Structure 1
Amino acid sequence: MFNPIAALKGPPLASADGSMSLMEHLFELRRRLTIAALALVVGASLGFVWFNHDPFGLPSLGKILTNPYCSLPDSARANLTNTPGSCSLLATGVFDAFLLQLKVGVSAGVILSSPVWLAQLWGFITPGLYAKERKFAYIFVSAAAVLFTAGAVLAYYVVAQALQVLLGFSADVVTVALSPNDYFGFMLALLVIFGVSFELPLLVVMLNQVGILPAANLKKWRRGIIMALFVFAAVATPGTDPISMLVLAIALTLLFELARVIATFHDKRKATSTDAQDFSELDDDAVSPLDPGGGTADVTTSPTPVASTVRAVQDPDRYTDAT
């Protein structure tokens, strides 16, 4: 039977240099997965409670997520309580409210506990990396978190405009009363799509850093990539409104241009740092033009044979007159 208390303990044995056997790696993986799972449970519990409560003066999670919908004009949404200015979603099932709160709580728990499970993932991977690789990994992980957050924040402000366009069709004929599953499904999908899409410049920069995607190719494929970004935005966004598609496409285009500039700067700096002479085309038997002192050796002068040098040392008078 799985014992979470025992799983929280570290590997039973480890070498003095930090190396571990396969079994010790499995123990370490189990320990870190247990910590990450416990952190996720705690985060999901906090998100579940936060959905209907206002902790420390903050608005509840339900109010934050429904604010784009409630900010619409009263004529664009159904009033289900006969109270002027009220805003609520329509639940038609017995378990709809509970399942909605649970789903949103788990989603919030993943975000709230992300520092813990990312730290556990990082702690498991780091021992196998060199110091330079750890430095780049720190930069890329931090940039990924910032870009995902920026994309989710942008999507949050786009939702209100997208809903206004979507709910504006046949407003005089149809009164729209959104269900919690439809609304929060649309909301969370848009947040995730924008957040993941904002990782594009990071992917481009990473491929450029390892030499797979040179800046010259990015410049040559620029028009095709921008066209592909607009097509991706049209397909990926969950709604059929032009607002979210256009905003995502423009944001991705700007991020791609930023990544292209960074890649160009990186390639120019790399070319400058390796601006030494290229010896790849030299013959294997050719004499190197570099001497140990940093100067250039005179390869036009014929070297003195070793045997002649030895005889000159043995009989200096004879070889002095000859020269």
Structure 2
Amino acid sequence: MAKKNVNEMSFLDHLEDLRWHLIRATIAILIAGAVAFIFSNFIFDTIIFGPKRMSFPTYKWLCNMSQLIGIDTTFCLDEFPFRIQNRTMAGQFSAHIWTSIYAGLVIAFPYVIYQFWKFLSPGLHETERRYSKGFIVISTLLFFLGVLFGYYIVTPLSINFLGTYSVSSEISNEIDISSYISLVRSSALASGIIFELPIIIYFLTKIGLVTPEILKKYRKFALVIVLILSAIITPPDIASQVIVAIPILVLYQVSIYISRIVVKNQKKKEKRDVTSS
């Protein structure tokens, strides 16, 4: 059966189309998750528990930097003063399943964003659809950069601070596996979503909800929000918050330029339409 033209589709037709795109994206995530489930040793021992070891690249770099400037830090410890444990019967199995699903989401992200674009593209002009490959590549690149930033920067900073924090020598840190994995997962995925800010601003500008003037007007408020966000996802020390805040502020500035370009192109199109009519 031939696919209907977007202008001929009813609301229910659009919902049906969206349903199939979501089904395809879900299947891709589950397939990628199944692959991650099979390679659980690599996923857990190398990736998930990597930031728990002092041999992790971030700790080595920060340790060398602290020694260079003559500062004693916890980045140069032999090992973290905590151990990870499982306290529920199905804890490890549940961690295996959910970690595989989230890993599947990360692996299948290019295809998921492709399905998202396929759903939106029929409503766009021909010239806009030409940039679909660029959109998918840029979205994927930003997401993976964000995940890497969260994994190599946010996660080790959080683990180093929280794993070495102690209010009394009488208390030993025995971290539940779900709590540890949740920290790694939320740090990586939250950073990946935050790095999609330019793409989000692009679409918000396209539908008229955001303009460059609005972004510039509320830049000071955005700075405060970024600092609050940095304080939430990082340890409560200034250095960590600044490290996290810098790329977000850069992305916000890039978003302003993107919004300006979108508005400029829309004005040019409107001008051509008026001239041709």
- The question of 1:230 aligning with 2:227 is answered yes
Contact 2:109/2:140 (<8 A) preserved: no
Contact 2:52/2:80 (<8 A) preserved: no
- The question of 1:104 aligning with 2:99 is answered yes
Structure 1 residues not aligned, in runs of 5+: 1-12, 53-58, 79-87, 280-323
TM-score, structure 2 normalization: 0.70
Residue 51 of structure 2: which of 65, 68, 77 is its match? 68
Residue 247 of structure 2: which of 239, 244, 251 is its match? 251
Residue equivalent to 1:50: 39
- The question of 1:157 aligning with 2:152 is answered yes
Structure 2 residues not aligned, in runs of 5+: 55-74
Shift of 1:142: 3.1
Contact 2:230/2:244 (<8 A) preserved: yes
Contact 1:14/1:24 (<8 A) preserved: no
Residue equivalent to 1:133: 128
Contact 1:76/1:175 (<8 A) preserved: no
Residue equivalent to 2:109: 114
What value does the CA root-mean-square deviation take over the aligned residues? Answer: 3.8
Shift of 1:24: 7.7
Shift of 1:156: 0.8
Residue 178 of structure 2: which of 168, 181, 198 is its match? 181
Contact 1:40/1:110 (<8 A) preserved: yes
The structure-2 alpha-carbon separation of the partners of 1:189 and 1:209, relative to structure 1 and needing over 3 Å to count, comes to same
- Secondary structure of the structure 2 residue equivalent to 1:89: strand
For these two proteins, the number of residue pairs brought into alignment is 248
Write out aligned runs for 1:1-323 (5 A). Answer: 13-14=1-2, 32-52=21-41, 59-71=42-54, 73-78=77-82, 89-158=84-153, 159-170=155-166, 173=169, 174-208=171-205, 212-235=209-232, 237=233, 240=236, 242=238, 244-263=240-259
Moved more, 21-30 or 187-196: 21-30
- Secondary structure of the structure 2 residue equivalent to 1:110: helix
The structure-2 alpha-carbon separation of the partners of 1:20 and 1:115, relative to structure 1 and needing over 3 Å to count, comes to farther
Q: Deviations over 1:154-180 (max 9, x none)?
A: 111121122212223228714323221
- Secondary structure of the structure 2 residue equivalent to 1:44: helix
The structure-2 alpha-carbon separation of the partners of 1:220 and 1:15, relative to structure 1 and needing over 3 Å to count, comes to closer
Which one-letter code corresponds to 1:163 in the other structure? I
Which one-letter code corresponds to 1:156 in the other structure? Y
Q: Deviations over 1:9-58 (max 9, x none)?
A: xxxx2279899876987876665555444333321211111112xxxxxx
Contact 2:157/2:234 (<8 A) preserved: no
Which one-letter code corresponds to 1:194 in the other structure? S
Contact 2:114/2:136 (<8 A) preserved: no
Higher RCO structure, 1 or 2 (CA under 8 Å, sep 6+): 2
Contact 1:89/1:177 (<8 A) preserved: yes
Equivalents in 1 of 2:156, 2:39: separation in Å? 22
Equivalents in 2 of 1:163, 1:106: separation in Å? 23
The structure-2 alpha-carbon separation of the partners of 1:227 and 1:115, relative to structure 1 and needing over 3 Å to count, comes to closer
